[in-house]
A and B are shown apart, each in its own frame.
Chain A
């Protein structure tokens, strides 16, 4: 493989690589604001300047500069090599780059950092970016001098509403244009642009428009400073109190990789952040997915119910088991799997249902929704492909409604409280027992005779298979709310009450059983992080 040198170290590169990209892949971080691996190159922040050594036998391109000599107390003439931005410089074989070892680079970075902070309000205590701000990090790392400008800073508009999700603070902005490029290149809706020049520049929304495309939260996500803040996260928490769990977005069948940020002290979930995965979502997530973290607390079923009356979990499990035992005797039990739940939950329900002699399986989930060719999938369920792989004979829930009306089945054992609109209008027949394991309030949850509270994706580990057939593991972030338990654990309680041996008792054993049931398809795992910092 072709290689070049950074500070004397051999770095391999691929054709078409820029210096910063090849360096990032090799684990060398060149400081940058405006460059983002998923966006085009702007090269306007000048933070990634590096020294490009001339080929052997050739003279370096230099500039005449004046340097202040503190001993002589006057400016002296000096030659300085012309530095190049690492984000824009294509790599070629045998090229030599000086990064941290060059005094010119260090001086340039310090100067750039000082320039970017000239008009900055330095309001870190009230800025939501504090703790994950590039300006803070690079100030500490690269700025050698204090601010030397004593004039009044330029005052610009603050707290400008860009759209339903985004608030803009022009004083904190360094005009790196990442947000402009996200809108133009990712969302293909060039609604943002830069107005004015020099000190007075700021980001503006096109007249008559709002920043309301379905990827508007990505502009906040890529903002390296606190200029763009999300209406949703603004003033809510300090990032240094948060921990991240590596989860899968439950919003649609794309299965975007996400970080779920939560406060471990209060067990509160605060936000989603996209997690890089080149084969699924690259660096991005849609607004809908970014806000889907709220489902942890919204419309939750926190306690079990028997015929609409809340009861303690033990009682609910006993009531459900009693009805399931009767249903087994009647022999007309229908099973319902949920595309909203993980493979483990579905497999557990499937195993218990088969032991109870379920005659037919159906799949439920959320109704189809808005979609595009960027990330958003029409199927708003994260695990439909997985459920169909587990139980290929399962049919859509609309068939169940018809069959129940025709009294084909007498009882129902269901996972998930959702019913798509098409099945909603149906009277749903008169099943004797409807045992429902649900996380959220929904049409089916409201019609349950016995309702068991299940945990959401954030409250337990689980595998989700996206539309591409990629099985991805989602970690647990917080403890289950209320009395809820992961659905597979509820199934385990039901099985022990019914005296059915399922062959597994722990999550690990369940995972192995699932592996055996699934065989080789679908088998792919999550892609590891590439480690490129954005």
Chain B
């Protein structure tokens, strides 16, 4: 761009016949070419001095145990080195990590396959195949369940809208994990079983929100008064 402008100015100048272009701005000051500069020795010594000072300070802090822990404490003065992946900085409490499907008391998914999450998803990365509970299950006729629940974790933009949309607290992003590096895209298609195998950061597979199974005495209706 600049080059272009320059050329244009030159062409203009040439056309107008104004002679050589006037230089604007202050010229760069070059170091004086003394023997000390030309020999490089003082500059090398100065650089080694800086390195040595850091080395000695780190060693002293390491030996005396004064070095701030880069994982637990914030980045302070001096050198802060994390030996990733052995050492990791903890994610903040509300970090949106990999999804998990929460479970009911009997271990089945809380999800009722309403497709609210996949409707809300701006990346369209959630695929759900709803199914009906088998004959004999108390939930048959009341609810459906996800026969398949697949999240494409590569396509996901981790916006958290699926969690907001879920009416059942069935999908959460509180695993504290991020997607590991895989070598093929298929491996990022997380199926229901995998999503249900992640615990939350508190180690629980369930959530604190109570779930009212059809037929039990806490099923909707009774609790409304208390909650309002």
Task: Give the B-binding residues of A (Cβ under 8 A).
Answer: 121-123, 125-126, 130, 150-153, 155, 158-159, 167, 169, 234-236, 238, 240-241
Chain B residues touching A, range: 20 to 34
CB distance from A485 to the nearest CB of B (A): 30
Considering only CB atoms, which chain B residue lies closest to A154 in the complex? B221
Could you tell me the distance between the alpha carbons of A151 and B221 in the complex, rounded to whole angstroms? 7
CB distance from B172 to the nearest CB of A (A): 17
19 A-B contact pairs sorted by A residue (CB < 8 Å): A121-B220, A125-B168, A126-B142, A130-B114, A150-B224, A151-B225, A152-B222, A153-B220, A153-B221, A155-B221, A159-B141, A234-B132, A235-B113, A235-B130, A235-B131, A238-B114, A238-B119, A241-B115, A241-B119
Contact flags B123-158 to A (C-beta < 8 A → 1, else 0): 000000011100000001111100000000000000
Chain B positions 173-228 with a Cβ under 8 Å from a chain A Cβ: 214, 220-222, 224-225, 228
**Inter-chain contact A150/B114, CB cutoff 8 Å:** no
Find B221's partner among A152, A159, A235, A241 (CB 8 Å cutoff): A152
**Inter-chain contact B132/A235, CB cutoff 8 Å:** yes
Find A126's partner among B143, B224, B228 (CB 8 Å cutoff): B143
Q: Which chain B positions have C-beta within 8 A of A169?
A: 141
B161 within 8 Å of A (CB atoms): no
CB distance from B126 to the nearest CB of A (A): 12
Could you tell me the distance between the alpha carbons of A17 and B106 in the complex, rounded to whole angstroms? 58
**Inter-chain contact B116/A125, CB cutoff 8 Å:** yes
B167 within 8 Å of A (CB atoms): yes
Q: Which chain A positions have C-beta within 8 A of B119?
A: 238, 240-241
Could you tell me the distance between the alpha carbons of A56 and B195 in the complex, rounded to whole angstroms? 71
> A158-B142, A159-B140, A235-B131 in contact; A126/B221 too (CB < 8 A)?
no
CB distance from B43 to the nearest CB of A (A): 66
**Inter-chain contact B112/A158, CB cutoff 8 Å:** no
Could you tell me the distance between the alpha carbons of A121 and B143 in the complex, rounded to whole angstroms? 12
Q: Which chain B positions have C-beta within 8 A of A150?
A: 224-225, 228
Q: Which chain B positions have C-beta within 8 A of A153?
A: 220-221
Could you tell me the distance between the alpha carbons of A155 and B222 in the complex, rounded to whole angstroms? 11
Could you tell me the distance between the alpha carbons of A151 and B223 in the complex, rounded to whole angstroms? 9
**Inter-chain contact B222/A126, CB cutoff 8 Å:** no
Find B142's partner among A159, A234, A240, A241 (CB 8 Å cutoff): A159
Q: Which chain B positions have C-beta within 8 A of A130?
A: 114
Could you tell me the distance between the alpha carbons of A126 and B130 in the complex, rounded to whole angstroms? 10
CB distance from B85 to the nearest CB of A (A): 38
Interface hub of B113, B221, B222, B225 (most chain A Cβ within 10 A): B221
**Inter-chain contact A125/B222, CB cutoff 8 Å:** no
Which 5 residue pairs of A and B lie closest in terms of their CB atoms, listed nearest first? A159-B141, A125-B114, A152-B221, A150-B225, A153-B221
CB distance from A17 to the nearest CB of B (A): 41
Considering only CB atoms, which chain A residue lies closest to B144 in the complex? A235
**Inter-chain contact A126/B220, CB cutoff 8 Å:** no
Could you tell me the distance between the alpha carbons of A160 and B166 in the complex, rounded to whole angstroms? 27
CB distance from B156 to the nearest CB of A (A): 18
CB distance from B155 to the nearest CB of A (A): 14
Instruction: With A126-B112, A153-B220, A238-B115 given, name 5 new contacts (CB 8 A).
Output: A125-B116, A126-B114, A126-B144, A130-B114, A235-B130
CB distance from B127 to the nearest CB of A (A): 10
Could you tell me the distance between the alpha carbons of A240 and B143 in the complex, rounded to whole angstroms? 19
